[in-house]
Chains A and B, each alone.
Chain A
Amino acid sequence: MTGSLKRILLGEQGLVVIFAIAFAVVSLTVPNFLTERNMLGLLQSVVTIGIVSCTMMFCLASRDFDLSVGSIVAFTGMVAVMASNATGSIPLGLLIAVGFGTFVGFVNGVVIAKLKINALITTLATMQIVRGLALISSDGRAVGINDASFYQLALSKFLGVPTPIWVMGALFCIFGFVLNRTVFGRNTLAIGGNPEASRLAGVNVDWMRIWIFTLQGLVCAIAGILLASRITSGQPNAATGLELSVISACVLGGVSLAGGRAAMTGVIVGVLIMGIAENVMNLLNIQAFYQYVVRGLILLMAVLLDNLRSRSLGRR
């Protein structure tokens, strides 16, 4: 009995099983949890983390790291609002924001791949630079939007489900496909497994890394725009600490920090676990300060599980 239980928990789908059990327990014990309203609220609350996790997964799977995501989300949100105000056109404003996000990601990628500077240091630098730019351009204050239809990005619904959730779902599908079914995905995992062997086997490692960071910037811009729409303004201090939540969600989802191992389903479950923990604590009126402690504990448990799993794999 314990043997088979252990096998299930440490197997490929261990996290999904744990998630399903936790979900069932919470649904039965926490009042108002399993309601349509709460479920949609829960999903809404993880949209930013969920979207950014898609590309962070690629970044981690190729043995890289990106700390600048929170700053890019805040900055592109600001740019979307300010550019929309300045040009009088929301689509143009969004395009400019996406352009900015993509550009920052591209710069990250070029510095890391071509100038061979450690990803941790590079993105630590761009994290501060971009946050600084967001504060400078807004003079440290929230920037309101002139055209109220900007709010519709987050408020509009399709089949009763808010647009941001659809966007997150679509990105999950797209990046899941890219990871599992394309040369790009396989090369990402190969670089994470052994960068030098991949290069000698004909993988264009530099180009891959630049693309991964560029995509990360683009996806951050999408998250930033949706966040700005939801909080009805561009806020220079938005999404602080986002990078840590996103990396936590990925690690929870079984993405190896040593590279070479990642799965979209795992990351989705990781994102949901983070969201549920927060949601349940809100429903139970637990003080926000405790939520940090719980989040940290969940992360520790996940890493422990991952460690046990790779050890049981290593026995082969």
Chain B
Amino acid sequence: MTDFLEFSNISKSYPGVRALSGISFGVAKGRVHGLMGENGAGKSTLIKILSGDIRADEGEIRIDGVVQHFHSTRDAFAARVTVVHQELQLVPELSVAENLRLGHFPAKAGVISFRELVADVGSKLKEIGVDVDPRTKVAALSIGERQMIEIAKAVMLDARVIALDEPTSSLSSRESEILFTLIERLREQGKVILYISHRLDEVFRLCDGVTVLRDGKLAAHHASMEGVTRDQIVSEMVGREISDIWGWRGRDVGDVRLKVEGITGSRLPNPVGFEARKGEILGFFGLVGAGRSELMRLVYGADHRHAGSVAIDGKPVAPSDPRQSIRAGLVLCPEDRKFDGIVQGRSVSDNIAISARRHFSPLGILNLGKEAALADGFIRSLRIRTPSRKQDIVNLSGGNQQKVILARWLAETDVRVLIVDEPTRGIDVGAKSEIYELLYSLAESGLAIVVVSSELPEVMGISDRIAVMCGGSIAATFDRADFNERTILAAALPDRSAAEAIKKVS
């Protein structure tokens, strides 16, 4: 069978980075093909080239044997190539039908016939199996339903090639199922589907073949999934075997370092308290909305504290003021790196020194030599991948940005408590291990570390003790010896009957 969609020797460079080099592979008609790789492996760059968003430096894309020249997304659109991005592109204030026919409404003399519009879109949606009323406003739909509408849009435009970029990242498992059915139907219709995901189980379930990228190069191409194993793909993605990415090791735990008592705030009305000891890694697990990040923001002073106390080594920390917390040795790496962590438009060096420079800037005058040495030191010791300390931080990958924010706090002279909210969100496997290793060595040096994570394997893998939050309170705590996936998950579930059900299964 000849390949309908072919990438041939695609290369793309940015100043200082070779994003893609010599990528060649093809996908036949009526196939769902997986595209995998760690963050920064080049998946998004390749997809952007396919959608006409950016242009390749070298190489060409052929569809049905014809070389395509995509200078803009409009060209890709004309060639009937559609990319469904993670950030959806629908107009929330318009109805489903209006969104789907935006730009080509059925109209007479400029007057839209809504009846025709709704009937037309409704029948099309039914045809592809999407159960949504075309008159609903998009704003009222769940993220999963919106994703479906995006795909429906691609189908209605008669796309020949549909690329789905991490389509299930914000879907519930039921919504994912509906999506999979839809994808299977599209396969039967002979579409070429490029499925970008880092969820192995989905790729194995859906895809007929898979291509793995690593560091901008083609690491492996499997035209069929026969004989391909999960371990094989993981090692192709990281380029080495990863046996135990957690690498937890035991350590001595000392006196209580952080003591939080009866703390409340506007988004956390019930008093909450907990302790973390010297050298301890305390994990916080909970479902979305359980109040973990809200609690950490209150402890750090990012949000206004209504009541309660926070003490470090017995000394109270002034409420609601990050500056006072930093001076007391309590620091936070926030959950949302982009909005609360990095300072965009400023260099790596500036982002590291933003807080600690007060220690070595007499009369507020900068010591640029010291700042440079500090930044270079951390770039080396934490292996921050950046062309130089002067690089704008937005150009770094997520893992390296996280390291810069950790470096910001390590540069402080006397950190006692480190709170890390979602330390590895959006970070690839290799960098994850490095960050865990860093947390262990910090704990060994006597810090109390609080790690918030939504990934249960991660919390279980790295914590000495786990506090489980549910509905704004701490529902249970577990010592490492008692870690059990089911009981921890049961404690996190707000609905008691569901929790009982899980217990029964175990």
Contacts and interface: CB of A to CB of B under 8 A. Distances in A.
Interface stretch (A122-130, A177-185, A226-234): A177-185
Contacts, number: 83
Interface in B386-400: 392, 395
B339 A316 contact: no
Contact of A315 (B14, B302, B346, B358): B14
Contacts of B354: 186-187, 190, 198, 201-203
Interface in B263-320: 300, 302
A197 B364 contact: no
B322 interface: yes
Interface residues of B, number: 32
B339 A196 contact: yes
Given A186-B357, A197-B339, 17 more contacts: A182-B361, A183-B358, A183-B365, A189-B345, A190-B350, A193-B345, A198-B343, A198-B354, A199-B302, A200-B332, A200-B340, A200-B341, A201-B354, A202-B322, A202-B354, A204-B323, A316-B392
B442 to A, nearest CB: 19
Interface in A264-289: none
Interface in A189-233: 189-190, 192-194, 196-204
A197 B341 contact: yes
A184 B364 contact: yes
A139 to B, nearest CB: 45
A182 B408 CA distance: 18
Nearest to A310: B345
A316 B15 CA distance: 6
Interface in B2-20: 14-16
A201 B343 contact: yes
Contacts of B61: none
B476 interface: no
A131 interface: no
B334 A200 contact: yes
Contact of B16 (A192, A198, A316): A316
Contacts of A194: 339, 342-344
B355 interface: yes
Query: Taking each of A184, A196, A202, which has the highest tally of chain B beta carbons within 10 Å of its own beta carbon?
Result: A202
Contacts of B16: 316
A182 B340 contact: no
A182 B364 contact: yes
B357 A183 contact: yes
Contacts of A202: 322-323, 326, 354-355
Given A186-B350, A315-B14, A201 B408 contact: yes
B366 interface: yes
A260 interface: yes
Q: Which of A192, A193, A261 has its CB near the most chain B CB atoms (within 10 A)?
A: A193
B318 to A, nearest CB: 13
A308 B334 CA distance: 33
A260 B344 contact: yes
B296 to A, nearest CB: 11
Contacts of B358: 183
Interface string A155-195: 00000000000000000000000000111101101101110
Nearest to A198: B343
B340 A193 contact: no
Interface string B368-401: 1000000000000000000000001001000000
A202 B334 CA distance: 13
B302 A181 contact: no
Contacts of B355: 201-203
A181 B344 CA distance: 20
Given A186-B350, A189-B346, A260-B344, A200 B302 contact: yes
Contact of B364 (A183, A190, A259, A260): A183
A259 B300 CA distance: 27
A217 to B, nearest CB: 20
5 contacts: A182-B366, A183-B364, A197-B339, A200-B334, A202-B322
A246 B14 CA distance: 37
Contacts of A201: 322, 343, 354-355, 408
Contacts of A259: 345
Interface string B166-177: 000000000000
B353 to A, nearest CB: 8
A193 B365 contact: no
Contacts of A186: 350, 353-354, 357, 366
- Most chain A CB within 10 A, of B345, B353, B361, B392, is at B345
Nearest to A178: B364
A182 B365 contact: yes
A289 B339 CA distance: 46
Contacts of B14: 315-316
Given A183-B361, A186-B357, A200 B322 contact: yes
A200 B302 CA distance: 6
A190 B15 contact: no
A201 B323 CA distance: 8
A196 B343 CA distance: 9
Nearest to A180: B366
A194 to B, nearest CB: 5
B342 A197 contact: yes
Contacts of A187: 354
Nearest to A258: B345
A193 B340 CA distance: 11
Nearest to B342: A197
A197 B345 CA distance: 12
Nearest to B346: A193
Contacts of B15: 315-316
Contacts of B340: 196-197, 200
B334 A190 contact: no
A201 B354 CA distance: 7
A189 B354 CA distance: 11
A238 B344 CA distance: 39
B208 to A, nearest CB: 35
B11 to A, nearest CB: 16
Contacts of A204: 323
A271 B207 CA distance: 61
B344 A193 contact: yes
B389 to A, nearest CB: 14
Contacts of B322: 199-202
B348 to A, nearest CB: 13
Contacts of A260: 343-346
A200 B336 CA distance: 12
A30 to B, nearest CB: 39
Given A186-B357, A200-B340, A316 B364 contact: no
A315 B395 CA distance: 10
A59 B15 CA distance: 32
Nearest to A261: B345
Contacts of A196: 339-340
A3 to B, nearest CB: 14
A197 B343 contact: yes
Contacts of A184: 364
Contact of A181 (B334, B346, B366, B395): B366
A316 to B, nearest CB: 5
